[in-house]
Structure 1
Amino acid sequence: MTETYPQAGSAQTAAPVLLQLQDLQKSYGPAQILAGVDFEIRKGEFVCVVGPSGSGKTTLLKCMAGLLEPSGGKTVFEGEEVTEPPAKLAVVFQDYSRSLLPWMTIWQNVELPMKNKFPKPERPARIESVLEAVGLAGKGGLYPWQMSGGMQQRAAIARGLAYQPDVLLMDEPFAAVDAQTRIELEDLVLRVRAEFDTTVVFVTHDIDEAVYLADRVIVLSGAPTTVSRNIAVDLPRPRDQRDTKLLPEYARLRAEVFELIQSAKSHATIR
């Protein structure tokens, strides 16, 4: 099968908006974390969200997913305000050891969220398809504790894909794995994103990862957090860990994001 890779730019700006943040705010007591965050996600996009430590990236994602109630503003998903986790949205978390249920096999973990969406006869073929896509063909009978960290995170990605969400939210999903596994998982998520035509919002603290993966990078300021800049990433696809990162445009984009985050850190220190 020939894979097609969505391109950043005019084709995507014409795509329908799936997810929109409108003046999203979140406070914990007197501490304001999100101070009015606005951006939108269009169908087919891969959008990375970066920001300095303490900028509320995970808080933002939880509000987007309906897992945390905002203090002000709102998230709109497919035309409806998010007040609870939407049925057509899935989340892959950073801590795969807590995400996967250790008493269930990988097959059972992947099947679990499908039970209220797909009839039982349809599930096996779909589970086999996503396990193969993430490189776990034949591993469905294993338990999470029998697998490496990288394999467990592959299983968590498979579970998100099997549900066939309209938007997949990923919260620093590769932060807990080693550098080589991280590279493999970056390429994996690009491959399965293209194969399954999935819209992805990917929260990360890694600048290189954000520029390598994304069609757009949304850079957050320091807390109280707003959007510092929304940057289009017009790098060719498919991407390659060596060739893409040798491009002058990659270096320019990486420097732009780095400078924005450093600036946010210094302003936070002054406050």
Structure 2
Amino acid sequence: MKVLTNSNESLLTVEGLRKSYGDVAILDGINFEVNRGEFVCIVGPSGSGKTTLLRSIAGLQAPTSGRTVFEGQEVTEPPAKLAVVFQDYSRSLLPWMSVAENVALPLKGTGSRADIGGRVERALVSVGLSGKGKLYPWQMSGGMQQRAAIARGLAYNPDVLLMDEPFAAVDAQTRVELEDLVLRLRDEYNTTVLFVTHDIDEAVYLADRVLVLSGAPTSVTENIVTELPNPRNQLETKRLERFGEVRERVFTLIQSAKSHASI
């Protein structure tokens, strides 16, 4: 299938990525590219190594073999222009720091106090937390904490935002709001997003492309272009025939991966 992207410029390339723990193989030769401006979602059955893959791409752990190339450089440690938003916001935000201080963490040494303060405020406004900077994480709802975690990821204008099931721990209504928020922020910050999720509807709604993983040891089963119009709407987009077609295909692939894993 021909891949339709927002740019012909490859920003992130994953080449033959493998990861094993002892004799247990988790990732088995992962290959794909992400072009500048794309929103790519990764889905797969439970235990397929989605988080391991994202951590390897981000330089947070070394692969057993293979490599990730980001902006022409092999990733051996977390790159400066790549940000990660994790699922567990309660652990990623430091409870003894205010929200503004948490958002400012990656900006230390990057400019004057006034410049950093302006970037923090812009990020907080962008995620709907204007005026909340003096609060502490424990004074906020789960959805607000995850907004703060997203703001921290955006504060230094990353070229790629990696998101590891970031909405899994919030309620359904908040999840819908955050999905639309991250679509808007992708455009506002002109960033590229690689988004891991276990939710098929979420993946199809958000993505320009969906990468479907097999069961462990994991490889990419299929690379699906969603071909959905932008901007997207929770009701109208999900009523489209194309949305249903892509959802059915992803569901079928994941169910097949599960059945093979259980043999």
TM range (shorter): over 0.9
Deviation of the 1:192 alpha carbon: 1.0
Q: Which residue of 2 aligns with 1:267?
A: 260
Q: Which residue of 2 aligns with 1:226?
A: 219
* Secondary structure in 2 matching 1:34: strand
Deviation of the 1:117 alpha carbon: 2.5
Specify the code of the residue in structure 1 equivalent to 2:109. N
Does structure 1 residue 201 correspond to structure 2 residue 214? Answer: no
Q: What stretches of structure 1 move > 4 A for 4+ residues in a row? A: 8-11
Alignment equivalent of 2:102, drawn from 93, 99, 109: 109
Q: Which residue of 2 aligns with 1:55?
A: 48
Deviation of the 1:126 alpha carbon: 1.3
- Structure 2: where are the runs of 5+ without partners? none
Does structure 1 residue 185 correspond to structure 2 residue 178? Answer: yes
Matches within 5 A, 1:29-40: 29-40=22-33
Q: Which residue of 2 aligns with 1:98?
A: 91
* Secondary structure in 1 matching 2:262: helix
Q: Which residue of 1 aligns with 2:205?
A: 212
How many residues align? The count is 262
Q: Answer yes or no: is the 8 Å Cα contact 1:93–1:170 preserved in 2.
A: yes
Deviation of the 1:233 alpha carbon: 1.1
Q: Which residue of 2 aligns with 1:240?
A: 233
Matches within 5 A, 1:128-139: 128-139=121-132
Cα deviation, 1:5-24, whole Å, max 9, x if unaligned, reads: xxx96552x43111110000
**TM-score normalised according to structure 2 size:** 0.97
Q: Answer yes or no: is the 8 Å Cα contact 2:5–2:38 preserved in 1.
A: no
Q: Answer yes or no: is the 8 Å Cα contact 1:127–1:162 preserved in 2.
A: yes
Give me the CA root mean square deviation: 1.2
Does structure 1 residue 153 correspond to structure 2 residue 142? Answer: no
Q: C-alpha distance in 2, partners of 1:11/1:269?
A: 35
Q: C-alpha distance in 1, partners of 2:20/2:102?
A: 34
- Structure 1: where are the runs of 5+ without partners? 1-7
Q: C-alpha distance in 2, partners of 1:218/1:119?
A: 41
Alignment equivalent of 2:245, drawn from 233, 249, 252: 252
Report the identity percentage. Answer: 68
Specify the code of the residue in structure 2 equivalent to 1:89. L
Q: Answer yes or no: is the 8 Å Cα contact 1:9–1:234 preserved in 2.
A: no
**TM-score normalised according to structure 1 size:** 0.95
Q: Answer yes or no: is the 8 Å Cα contact 2:119–2:156 preserved in 1.
A: no
Deviation of the 1:194 alpha carbon: 1.0
